[in-house]
Structure 1
Amino acid sequence: MAIIALTGDDISEASIPLLDDVVPCSVDFKSRPSVRSKSGSWKSAIFIIGVQTAERFSYYGISSNLVSYFTGALGQSTAAAAANLNAWYGTAALSPILGAFIADSFLGRYRTIIVSSLFYIMGLGFLTLSAAINSSNSSDCENVANDTECSPPQLLKIFFFFSLYLVAFAQGGFKPCVQAFGADQFDNEDEKESKAKSSFFNWWLLFSCLGIILAILVLSYIQENLSWELGFGIPCIVMCFTLIVFLLGSMTYRFPINSDQSNPFVRIGRVFLKAARNCVPAFTTISHEQDYEGKDVEDAKAILRLVPIMCASLGHSIVYAQPSTLFTKQAATMNCHVTSTFQIPAASFQSIISISIVVFIPFYDRVFVPIARAITKSPSGISMLQRVGTGLFLSIISIVVAAFVEKKRLAVALEYGLVDMPKATIPMSVLWLTPQFLLCGIANVFALVGLQEFFYDQVPSDLKSMGLALYLSILGIGSFLSSFLVSAIEKVTRGTGRDGWFSDNLNRAHLDYFYWLLAGISAFALAAYIYFAKAYVYSRKIIVGN
């Protein structure tokens, strides 16, 4: 008979019956040993992927067009809007570290997801209220020539940014826990489920992108042509349904049992304190046969050995921040008409990234991997680190293409005498931006999925949420770095009678110079990544090469 105490998904095991259909180290919602045929695997993953799809719809429904809200309803300059948006993106991407810590230390992933969803709904509700209050102020701005001269009251701005950052911190608890909880539904000891888990990360990104595509195409149109309060209100309603769907799947979920019986808070603190004291040997090869310092120090070393890979991936994360900010501002100056009467919202062009991911992931899973497997004789085709490196390289190509296209756009503006007409439409089709968005999407299939799987696999078993949070922190740090670069370059390049690289008049700006700078930074980061990836020794039992 099993005697099990369940607190969230931090569960202590006394004994588990040895049955063929029982999943080791896992219990169900009622604290009973998980039955393989009735729980976990794709039965649970379908619920969780559905929840992730809806959450991405809600998140991108507000984030993809925020640059337009900042420069329009809030009356900010292009540079200020880009810097503020990148700062928010950075916070949203770094907050999962706090969310994962709370999940792995106190609440468990399941309860953290529920609590985060409630705060998520609250933040979206406040955003909707803020936009509704600001709508009258926006109507008063219709006769103002310069958007930056029209700004809502300071108190309303504070309320708006409070709501926005509440969403950022809420998704910080939601995102790493949902993905880790989804991966928990697959048993590594079962060959079939182990292979399914590898595919889970691919299909996770694919369905996330479907939610993103729908948000960008539908909500950006609603925000620009109907109202911002409706554009923010729909994501709030969707998140309410998301929480209901997640709860409906509770009876099918598996809850992992921690092998470490100590208090999780003490365990995590112990791991990182020992990591700090052992930072130099942490980057050496870990031997599982000669564990002289104990499990905690071994885990600490495993975590610290991820740091060089994190740092070397920052070049890609800075490029990753551009489509929703500067790429979108580029698109807003170009001819966005599909027909003589129908015009695509500039923000909706970001959907090309997600569409390319949706198209390319099945190709990667069904065509690329089998071909690579035949060449490398590895079950995964290429290793996780090789996959990430390929994505970093494609990211550099995407930003180089962006620089050439921006140079072309500036030349067209000069040719047609539109340099001093910032609100005029450049007679150049927005489709010129397709290659850079397309390459960004394909780069993400390699880099982001590879980093997700790598950070989930390489951390200790009871710190999986923290592992995914560390992956997300790469994107957060990249956004902050992008914000810093934009602000610093704007101060250096802008002077009396001189337009800076990020002038509000994009026809006198030099985004192409900025893109070339990012290409150089990314190239340097890729060289560092190759060095660290070659030296890296996987700390878990996987059959891949470096």
Structure 2
Amino acid sequence: MQAQFRALKPKPCKGMIMNTGKCNPASGHQAVILYLGLCLIAFGTSGVKAALPALGADQFDEKNPREVVLQSKFFNWFLFSLTVGASIGVTFLVWISTNLGWNWGFGISTISVLFAVVFLSIGRSFYRNNVPGQSPIIRILQVCVATIRNWKHPPPNGRDELHGTSNTGELLRRTDQFRFLDRAAIINPNSCTSSSNPWRTCTVTQVEETKILVRMLPIILSTVFMNVCLAQLQTFSVHQATTMNTHLAGDLHVPPSSLPIIPLLFMAIFILLYDSTFVPFMRRLTGVPTGIRHLQHVGVGLVLSAVSMAVAGVVETRRKSGGDSKAMSVFWLGFQYGVFGAADMFTLAGMLEFFYAEAPARMKVLWELGDGGGGE
């Protein structure tokens, strides 16, 4: 709507204002609409990003070895679908928005998401859907608060000193790692009602869920570093392209904002080869149903992301030392984009599988928030 109606947009740049490189600023209500739209995009994306991978993975029985393999395939093809959609976005929609107007680009995106809602609704009666329970974030906060309240008590030595768990839900055995968190499950002999208050006394299962989160933190933090690399390719490398030769042949040229198509194409190709060739070959060698283990997926991706940044540094050195950067083809940037496409494929697919496989039932959706989302 803002792209369509002139009253909701700043006045076009004209005359001396345009010559000075300054344009009319947005008024109060125009800025409010713009930022409201951006916030709604973030809010909607967070819901899809968190729930959709978990919903798809829930359709497979983890106790059936054959379905475990199918679940791994689902994550690969889920990533492939993200890649195809993003490829259309950075090529077709960029061309539409540039040549026909932003209103056309946003309109097509709106219709696409409406179709997605329809397709999701068509299969609603067939989905295996976990019944929502207590928020995993609340459960983690309860453990933290109870640990602080019971900090004066020494860590318990045995399970008999801890508050048990109910017969419903997933039961997790007590582990010796991070024993300081076991204080949250200490039964206070001086109070008969403390065990009924989860902010004072938590169950062993609740404490173990929090321990899983603590164990996962290094893996989640590793994606922060990878997203730094992704941010470089999405911002600085696009800015690089504006100073380089973007012409293919004659008047045909590549818009800098369409450069992300390079890693997306590489990802699509790698996913197809990975699922059809690499996984069956490695499965015969290692005996692992998914070819290689989840953390090995992530490790390979992180190494490749470092390689992509090294390649980017070499290309940038050549661009700056070559004098006229307009003489250098924009496709030199394809090397770093291609390597990062492979890195993103390994890391994102591996993390989706790892988080879903390792997380307890109540926290599976929470883990999907930590995947980085480079494919999008």
Find the counterpart in structure 2 of residue 233 from structure 1.
107
- Residues 352 and 276 (structure 1 numbering): CA distance in 2 closer, same or farther, change over 3 Å? farther
In the TM superposition, residue 395 of structure 1 has moved relative to its aligned partner by: 0.3
Question: Of 237, 241, 258, which residue of structure 2 is paired with 1:327?
Answer: 237
How big is the alpha-carbon RMSD for the aligned residues of Structure 1 and Structure 2?
2.8
**Structure 1 stretch 189-198 or stretch 395-404: which is displaced more?**
189-198
Q: Does 1:174 align with 2:48?
A: yes
Tell me the equivalent position of 1:153. 26
1:218: Cα distance to partner?
0.7
CA contact (8 A) 1:278 1:301 kept: no
Equivalent in the alignment of 2:288: 378
TM-score normalised according to structure 1 size: 0.55
Identity of matched residues, %? 31
- Equivalent positions of 1:475-494 (< 5 A) are none
Structure 1 unaligned segments of length 5 or more: list them: 1-125, 282-286, 417-424, 476-546
Decide which of 90, 93, 102 is 1:219's aligned counterpart: 93
1:110-509 equivalence runs, <5 A = 126=1, 128-129=3-4, 133-134=8-9, 137-138=11-12, 140=14, 144-147=18-21, 149-155=22-28, 156-257=30-131, 264-265=134-135, 268-274=137-143, 294-412=204-322, 414=323, 416=324, 426-472=326-372
* Contact kept in structure 2, 1:451 and 1:471, CA below 8 Å: yes
Structure 2 CA distance, aligned partners of 1:434 and 1:463? 38
- C-alpha deviation, 1:130, in angstroms: 7.1
Question: Which blocks of at least 5 consecutive residues in structure 2 are unaligned?
Answer: 156-170, 176-181, 186-203
SS at match of 2:328: strand
Contact preservation (8 Å) 2:352, 2:368: yes
When Rg is computed on C-alpha atoms for both structures, the one with the higher figure is 2
Change (3 A) 1:278 1:127: farther
| Deviation of 1:389 (Å) | 0.8
Whether contact under 8 Å (2:271, 2:345) holds in the other structure is yes
In the TM superposition, what is the alpha-carbon distance from 1:251 to its structure 2 partner?
2.3
Cα shift readout 1:362-405 (whole Å, capped 9, x = no counterpart): 21122222333333332222211111011011001111111111
- Aligned partners of 1:439, 1:314: CA distance in 2, in Å? 18
> Deviation per CA, 1:209-248, whole angstroms, max 9, x where unpaired?
0011111111111222221222222111211222122111
User: For residues 161 and 402 of structure 1, do their structure 2 counterparts lie closer, same or farther at Cα, with a shift above 3 Å needed?
Assistant: same
Residue-by-residue CA offset, 1:254-282 (whole Å, 9 max, x unaligned): 22257xxxx514x652344325666999x
The answer to which structure, 1 or 2, has the higher relative contact order (CA under 8 A, 6+ apart) is 1
Mark the CA change 1:379 to 1:247 in structure 2 (over 3 Å): closer, same or farther. closer
Q: Is the 8 A contact 1:369 1:381 kept in 2?
A: yes
How far off is 1:316 after superposition? Answer: 0.9
Give, as a single letter, the amino acid of the residue that structure 2 aligns with 1:329. Answer: H
Indicate if the aligned counterparts of 2:13 and 2:23 stay in contact, CA closer than 8 A.
no
Query: Could you tell me which amino acid in structure 2 is paired with residue 199 of structure 1?
Result: K
Query: Contact 2:301–2:342 at 8 Å: present in 1 too?
Result: yes
> CA distance change for structure 1 residues 466 and 129 in 2, over 3 Å: closer, same or farther?
farther
Provide the C-alpha distance between the structure 1 equivalents of 2:7 and 2:66, rounded to a whole number of angstroms. 51
Q: Measured at CA, do residues 453 and 257 of structure 1 come closer, stay the same or move farther in structure 2, by a change above 3 Å?
A: same
In 2: Cα distance, 1:188 partner to 1:154 partner: 54
In the alignment, what sits opposite 1:77?
none
Amino acid at match of 1:264: Q
Residue identity in the other structure for 2:25: P
2:198 paired residue number: none
